[in-house]
Amino acid sequence: MSVEKVETLIIGGGQAGLAMSEHLSKRSLSHLIVERHRIAERWRSERWDSLVANGPAWHDRFSNMTFAGIDPDSFASKDRIVAYFEAYAEQIAAPIRCGVEVNALRKKPNGSGFVAETSQGVIEPTNVVAATGPFQRPIIPAVVPANAGIVQIHSAAYRNPGQLPAGAVLVVGAGSSGAQIADELQRAGKRVYLSIGPHDRPPRSYRGKDFVWWLGALGHWDARAVEPGMEHVTISVSGAYGGHTVDFRRLAARGMTLLGRAESFQDGMMRFAPDLARNISRGDANYFSVLDAADAYVAKNGLDLPEEPEARRLEPDPDCMTNPVLDIDLAKAGVTSIVWATGYALDFSWVKFDAFDEKGRPLHQRGVSTVPGFYFLGLPWLSRRASSFIWGVSHDAEYLADHIARRGSAGKV
């Protein structure tokens, strides 16, 4: 069997893999990207049909390429995002080989370099960048048994309302995916129950500026660590229907039943924690904290941005908040399907050496792992809040490219 030698192997052809390629090319460092499917595959086949970017086109992009043919303040559709990454790969002449999956990565026995067993043969790189994404394996909590007579899918498998059977639907999870999917299902005429856990719920825009602009102005994109205790809070934002603030009270006013966290299921009864009001008020607190910080910033810097007092008005609490529903007989309520928008886990089972802590989390400093020559890129908070966003990943890729350059082709550092 022939063995191919490369200096740096990048695994994954999403935004992180492309950003890495660009910065290695800028330093004339030879490399190869392998992607098991196609460029930006997650956007093509692992998201719902109507998905648009959560951030506006002027922001959610690489610094050296704009989105062609759309209003910079609009939210790019997933098809446009795919086209953007394809065009970007062409612009930077990325050496990418699609349809090649890395099944196992091992360290060479003599300690210098790696052996990648791929679906197309063996590759021996000096360095490896794992750019396989922050959202790798969909998680469905083991709450409702598969034989309960209810269609259950993860948000990664949700495509559109027509895919679900007739009847009501329970959406579990109210981060960006769950909130957007529940909204879409309700607009399509379905009876929707939405189970809401702790979340952040920033305003889409305030005083004429999008939330992502405020994150920049307030220095939050550059935040280097998640605040203690805030590690697992999902963020609920939406670019759908032209972009709007996620507002659970408004969804309830349109007929959606809001519930606390889904806890258990027995004999057809689904039970929910009595934490809905607390979770919503925590989301409100996050919302108002952004308004307060923005107002303080405007005052401090003497900016001329229009005041927006109506942003501080909340809709009345719906009945399901004041009289929480703690259990539902799913059959009686006509619930025939559940969409689990409950997030993703990392999956580095293909890495056959130890680069992880006891919980399986990657051990690294700004993406430089504990194994010389092995790097992580694109993980949430790899170096700062922006790390897993389209434009932020480039900053981390630049740092890793410098590190790889210092190692040299013999892999000495």
Ligand X SMILES: Cc1cc2nc3c(=O)[nH]c(=O)nc-3n(C[C@H](O)[C@H](O)[C@H](O)COP(=O)(O)OP(=O)(O)OC[C@H]3O[C@@H](n4cnc5c(N)ncnc54)[C@H](O)[C@@H]3O)c2cc1C
Please report, as ranges, the residues that interact with ligand X according to CB under 6 A: 11-17, 34-37, 41-42, 47, 51, 53-55, 60, 101-102, 131-135, 176-177, 350, 378, 388-390
- Nearer to ligand X by Cβ, of 61 and 261: the residue is 61
Least distance from ligand X to the Cβ atom of residue 213, Å: 15
Least distance from ligand X to the Cβ atom of residue 223, Å: 16
User: What is the C-alpha separation between 40 and 21, in angstroms, rounded?
Assistant: 14
Least distance from ligand X to the Cβ atom of residue 205, Å: 15
Helix (H, G, I), strand (E, B) or coil at 229: coil
Least distance from ligand X to the Cβ atom of residue 148, Å: 26
Burial call 292-301: b when 16+ CB within 10 Å, e when fewer? eebbebbeee
Residue keyed to tokens 């490896």: 128
- Nearer to ligand X by Cβ, of 139 and 269: the residue is 139
- Nearer to ligand X by Cβ, of 10 and 169: the residue is 10
- Nearer to ligand X by Cβ, of 44 and 271: the residue is 44
User: What is the C-alpha separation between 171 and 256, in angstroms, rounded?
Assistant: 11
Q: Where are the alpha helices (DSSP H) in 203-328?
A: 211-217, 248-253, 276-301, 319-322
User: What is the C-alpha separation between 360 and 347, in angstroms, rounded?
Assistant: 9
- Contacts of 107-112 spanning 24+ positions with Cβ under 8 A: 107/353, 107/371, 112/410, 112/411
- Nearer to ligand X by Cβ, of 52 and 150: the residue is 52
Least distance from ligand X to the Cβ atom of residue 155, Å: 7
Least distance from ligand X to the Cβ atom of residue 341, Å: 9
For 131-172, strand residue ranges (E) read: 137-138, 151-154, 168-172
SS3 content of the chain, % helix, strand, coil (to 5): 30, 25, 45
Least distance from ligand X to the Cβ atom of residue 296, Å: 27
- Nearer to ligand X by Cβ, of 37 and 209: the residue is 37
- Nearer to ligand X by Cβ, of 139 and 285: the residue is 139
Closest CA to 200 of 160, 235, 164, 238: 235
Q: Where are the alpha helices (DSSP H) in 171-329?
A: 176-187, 211-217, 248-253, 276-301, 319-322
CB 195, CB 272: distance < 8 Å = yes
- Nearer to ligand X by Cβ, of 24 and 335: the residue is 24
Least distance from ligand X to the Cβ atom of residue 166, Å: 26
